[in-house]
Structure formats: C-alpha cells, structure tokens
A and B are shown apart, each in its own frame.
Chain A
Amino acid sequence: MNNEQAAQWMRQTAKMLAEHKDELSKLDQAVGDGDHGVNMERGFRAVMEGLDEWQDLALSQLMQKIGSTLVSNVGGASGPLYGTAFMRLGSAWKEVDHVDGPAWVSGMAKAVEGIAQRGKTQAGEGTLLDVWSPVAAMFDENEPDWKKIEDTAKKGMKETENMVVKKGRGALLGEETVGHVDPGAVSSFYLFQALANTMNEGGG
C-alpha cells in the first residue's frame, strides 16, 4: 500500500460509513448510546477534509494525522479506539513508504495491542477487537490475500452476535447483548472491506 492507496482506503471507508450511518446507529441503540453511525461519519468526514492537505506527508505521518483526527472528531469511545489503532500503524511504519507483507504484520499487531490497551479489552468480549484481532492474524510475510482478509473481518463481525458484551454500556445489559452484532465490529468490517476493495483495484 502506498500513500495514494491509503488515501483511497480512507475515501472508500468514509463513503461506506456515510451510507451505513443509520444502520450503525440503529445497531448501537440496542447495546450502547445509539450514536455510533453519527460519530463514525463525523470522524471520517473530518479525515476527508484533511486528506488533500496531507497528500505530501510520509505514510507514517499520514496515519498519525488520521489517528489524531479520529480521536478529536469521533466523539464517542470509538474515537480513542480507532484513533489509537491508526496512530500505532503510523509508529510501526516510520521507516516504510510502501506497506508490504512484513509491514502489515507488524503494523496490525501494534494496532491490535493499542486497541486492547486503550479499551482495556481482549478478543471475545464483543467489541471491534473481535474484527481487528483475527484480521491481524491473517497477515503473514507474503503479499496479503485481500479476499481472505475481507472474509475474516466479516466472520469476526458476525461472531460478536453470539458474545456477551463485557465492555462499554453494553456490559450493563449482560446476557441481553447476545443476539446483537457489535456496532464497532460492523464499522471495522466496513473499514477492512474498503481496504480490500482499494487494494484489489490497485493491483496490490
């Protein structure tokens, strides 16, 4: 992934999140504050507004900018979680101008570690980490298999439906959260679907 593909990834993500804004908020009404769609749309709209200005930055700086913009503009818990993930990608990619297999492995491992620290959570607790963690595990030293990555993200998202939420407002509902897909897992699926689409179009 080069800078232009990273920018395209963000554009696709922003578009998908805007299209699914109501769906995400509706999912969040069942287990949270009901504002996930609105929050994510606002955060990625702010990223869109910054993209032109950031086009000459190094890839790692671009990731840092995306991260800090999400932290400042999302407004809910997803802000620090997604923000931390992108900032960690930025710090992992300091020496690279093109993200290849090994860089994906190290970047995604750091992003997952960041989300877990920030949210004080681990996989299996019905959060966006249940998408990020298995997706990170799908990367190896070779060129990524984007179809597999998208399928893994989808599977991770669907599995949150069967989980008892242990974090956030959903934790107050306990067993009642079983049967509901986690909204953060759904937005993360869109993020990785947008990544797969972008990389397939760009030929890797």
Chain B
Amino acid sequence: MMAENRVAILLISHVEALAEGARELLQQANPDVGIYACGGLDGGEMGTSVDRIEAVVNEIDPEDAILIFYDIGSAKMNAEMVQEMHEERKMAICNAPLIEGGTWRQ
C-alpha cells in the first residue's frame, strides 16, 4: 500500500479495558495497521473525554487518515468535537460495530 493512503484505526469506548481488548484483537487480525485505543476517563471511570481522544489523535502520524469506531452515542459526540477541532486531519467516524467494523483491511 502506498504511504499516502495509510489509514489508522481509532477505537473509542466508555471502558478502557474494552477499548484495549478490542485493540488487541484487531491488531492481531491486522498486524500492519496502526490501531489505537481510547477508553474511559482519567482515573479509570466510565465515559469518554474530548481531551483523551484528542491526545490519542495527536499520537497518530499526521499523514494517516483516521477511521474512528465507537461503542455508544455519547462517544460519537465527543469524537465529532475532536473532528471539528482538527479539520486539518483526514478523519471519518464510522457508524459500524466496534469489532466487526474495525476488521477493515488495507
């Protein structure tokens, strides 16, 4: 795959263990794809946070397009806020199941 078409996958869940577990599973299925997880709030509480999502987005190569998968609706709303704050990034929020959607292959 050409470098300019690289895609990273970002998994957002209300629960850190869920995001991490999904990342582990999908990384095994797609070893060549950058898969990132963002789950829970600081302190391990359940929820999603714009700050935390933004921090993970900043870890991803700026050249990579990002496909975002989320667990429930409020995660989507926070993802949309990050998307609006970073219009310079190629970012798409996928209305697809977290695991099945994340098995997308390059």
| Chain A contact residues, CB within 8 Å of chain B | 33, 35, 39, 42, 71-81, 118-119, 168-169
B25 at the interface (CB under 8 A from A): no
Report the bound CA distance from A121 to B72 in whole Å.
Answer: 17
Minimum CB–CB distance from A135 to chain B (whole Å) comes to: 22
Do A77 and B77 touch (CB < 8 A)?
A: yes
Tell me whether A72 and B47 are in contact (CB under 8 A): no
Contact A71 to B50, CB < 8 A, known contacts A80-B78, A119-B77, A169-B73: yes
Contact A39 B51 (CB under 8 A): no
Contacts of A73 in B (CB 8 A): 41, 49
Assuming A33-B72, A169-B72, is B77 touching A72 (CB within 8 A)?
no
Q: Is the CB of A75 within 8 A of B73?
A: no
Question: How many interface residues does chain B have, given as a range?
Answer: 10 to 19
For B72, the chain A residues whose CB sits under 8 A away are 33, 169
Total A-B contacts with CB atoms under 8 angstroms apart: 53
Query: A157 CB to closest chain B CB, in angstroms?
Result: 21
- For residue B53, give the distance in angstroms from its CB to the closest CB of chain A: 10
B41 contact set on A, CB distance < 8 A: 73, 75
Measured CB to CB, the closest approach of chain B to A12, in angstroms, equals: 24
A79 touches B78 (CB 8 A): yes
Contacts of A81 in B (CB 8 A): 77
In the complex, what residue of chain B is closest to A119 when comparing beta carbons?
A: B77
Cβ of B81 and Cβ of A75 under 8 Å apart? no
Q: How far, in whole Å, are A169 and B48 apart by their CA atoms in the complex?
A: 16
Q: Tell me how far the C-beta of A38 lies from the nearest C-beta in chain B, rounded to whole angstroms.
A: 8
Chain A residue with Cβ nearest B81 = A80
* Binary flags per residue of B73-88, CB closer than 8 Å to A gives 1, else 0: 1100110110000000
